[in-house]
Amino acid sequence: MIVAGGSGFIGSHLCEALLNRGYRVLDLDDHSTGRVSNVAHLLDVDGFTLLEGDVTDGGIAGRVAAVVGDETVAAVAHLASAASPPAYLARPLETLAVGSIGTDRLISIALRYEARFLLASTSEVYGDPLEHPQRETYWGNVNPIGERSVYDEAKRFAEALTAAHERASGLDARIARIFNTYGPRMQPDDGRVVTNFVHQALRGEAMTVYGDGTQTRSFCFVSDEVEGLIALLESEVRGPVNLGNPTEFTMIELAVAVGEVIGVEPRLDHRPLPSDDPKVRQPDISRARELLGWEPRVALRDGLRLMVDSLDDTAASGADH
């Protein structure tokens, strides 16, 4: 199994879960946003290999072949991309390249090994949605030249390229549209709302809320998300599938939940709303429920506690070393 972006937040959890299911895993990552520390506990695990490389590099297929050799490759999972707004806004051209050139190169590797291809797409393909909740049949409302378009359109193009290869090349593909996901191994400075709120609360700071805080998101704990990805990967389900938690929260409700878990009274620092920031975001997961038998199980406050506990464990580990 090849996992591009396997050293990232979700990617590292996916690598771990696949190893636990008996797969051999090649983590392909250039570590521009992923971290070796996310997979440090896997480096000595039998069946895990870490290959540093950029999926947009013209020689990446040869480098992968040199490692894989004659082994069978069951699947190529494409999770290689900056995912948080600060990360992709800081790397606009690289983000577009990984969604276009990188997707093309990884599809070529999948075709070479007659492997299944899993594209980790995103709820951002729906843009600032005019349909709520969002179903897979909704085509989206995206500003193609806005700042966020470098990520939105990169993923939309990746989906289009994947679908075109299904029709033209016989690619055996799966497309997951991932909604907001949180949990251990998120970078403290990644700019996503859960990490912002948690770390600001732990430092005793006001939580930064953009706009009036009534915009909504749905938060899926990473273990649930990974179970969904594997269920889709191992299924015969074609076409995009939403993977996320359908329970919707306003930003103010999230701040209250974070405050309860950490034991502080939430203070809010309101800032102007960023351009093209979606007002609502909630997945319709009917397809995932019916076709995969999957739905998330971890409630928000339980997941937040697990996330905060993991930060305590990391701090203790650092102190020991």
Backbone phi, then psi, for 175, in 5-degree steps? Answer: -125, 120
Count CB-CB contacts under 10 A for residue 29.
Answer: 28
Select which of 88, 126, 138, 151 is catalytic. 151
CB 135 within 8 Å of CB 240: no
Is residue 234 packed enough to be buried (19+ CB in 10 Å), middle (13-18) or exposed (0-12)? middle
Query: What 3-state DSSP class applies to 230?
Result: helix
Which amino acid does the sequence have at 93?
L
Count CB-CB contacts under 10 A for residue 24.
Answer: 17
Asked if omega into 246 is within 30° of 0 (cis), the reply is no
Active site residue 182: no
- The string over 206-223, giving b where at least 16 C-beta atoms fall within 10 Å of a residue's C-beta and e elsewhere, is ebbbbeebebbbbbbbbb
Helices 103-112 and 149-169 cross at an angle (nearest 10°) of: 30
Residues with catalytic annotation? 151
